[in-house]
Structure 1
Amino acid sequence: MTSLKNELVGTWKLLSYIEVPIAGDDSLFPMGKTPYGLLMYTTDGYMSVQISKENRLPYKSEDKVLASHEEMVSSLQGYIAFCGKFKVDNSTAIVTYTVESSLFPNWKNKIQRRKIDFEGDILYLKSTEPVLSNGVYVNSYMTWQKTDRSTDAFFATRLRKELSL
């Protein structure tokens, strides 16, 4: 039997991110309807996730430290990032993250859990405990697709985009 950890290892591209309020209100799309994200799991038990809102304000300055208040708010509210160790419980199909670093400092040294489900190369992750998001307790639902592109293909695509600018 293949362990769930072995199925998780690799890089996943975000297909959707939805938050469902526990009070039964309408679903929310905190990163817009077409967010971009990558989730990576390594064989030695580390993970990293980054999710970006579709239309964050670009900084007027090329210096990442010199931003207006509005630019910083857009940047911070439009991005989720954390990394740390992960372990998988095969019997419950739950992955547990021990957050070592996070864009949101309150998550550092905290535990987060997600229910795992697979359908071919699609990974479904659901939060196991509600979290506070914009003043509302929600459960998050994320859909990811396993990537199989090589590093060379990624850089070739990126280079073509840069050359066309």
Structure 2
Amino acid sequence: MTSIKNELVGTWKLLSYIEVPIEGDDSLFPMGKNPYGILMYSPDGYMAVQISKEGRMLYKSNDKMMATQEEMASSLQGYIAFSGKYKVDNNNAVVTYSIESSLFPNWKNQLQRRKIDFEGDVLYLRSTEPILSNGVYVNSYMTWQRMDRSVDNFDEEHLLREISLKN
């Protein structure tokens, strides 16, 4: 039997991020309907995730420490990032994160759990306990796709990204 950890190890690209209020209200898209995200699980038990909202406000200055209050609010509210150790419970198909660093400081030194499901190269993660998001308790649902990326196409992808940013 293959362990879930072996299936998790690697890099994943975010396909969708939805929050469902526990009160039964309409689903929310806190990072918009086209968020960008990367989730990495290493074989030695560390993980990192970063999710950004499409269309975050650019800073007028190229100095990241010289942002306006409005720019900082857009940046913070449009980004999720944390990293730390992870452990997999194969019997219950749950991954537990021991968060060591987080953009949201309240998550530092906290545990978070996600229910795991796979369908081919697609990973489904669901929060196991509701979290507070914009004043509402929600369960989060994320869909990730395994990235199959070789070093050979690194320069080509960077060039395409530069061209799209200029247009």
TM range (shorter): over 0.9
- Tell me which residue corresponds to 2:100: 100
Q: Return the alpha-carbon distance in structure 1 between the equivalents of residues 42 and 69 of structure 2.
A: 36
Structure 2's unaligned 5+ residue stretches are none
Structure 2 residue identity aligned to 1:39: L
Deviation at 1:162, TM superposition (A): 2.5
Q: Return the alpha-carbon distance in structure 2 between the equivalents of residues 161 and 32 of structure 1.
A: 21
Structure 1's unaligned 5+ residue stretches are none
* Cα-to-partner distance string for 1:40-88 (whole Å, 9 max, x where unaligned): 0000000000000001000000000101110000000000000000010
Structure 2 residue identity aligned to 1:94: V
- Tell me which residue corresponds to 1:156: 156
SS of the counterpart of 2:106? Answer: helix
- Tell me which residue corresponds to 1:123: 123
Deviation at 1:150, TM superposition (A): 1.2
Q: Return the alpha-carbon distance in structure 2 between the equivalents of residues 163 and 140 of structure 1.
A: 34
TM-score using structure 2 length? 0.96
Q: Return the alpha-carbon distance in structure 2 between the equivalents of residues 114 and 161 of structure 1.
A: 32
> Residues 18-37 of structure 1: matches in 2 within 5 Å?
18-37=18-37
- Tell me which residue corresponds to 2:146: 146
Deviation at 1:37, TM superposition (A): 0.1
Deviation at 1:12, TM superposition (A): 0.2
Structure 2 residue identity aligned to 1:88: V
Identity %: 76
* 4+ runs deviating over 2 angstroms: 159-165
The count of aligned residue pairs is 165
Q: CA RMSD in A?
A: 1.0
> Residues 1-165 of structure 1: matches in 2 within 5 Å?
1-162=1-162, 165=166
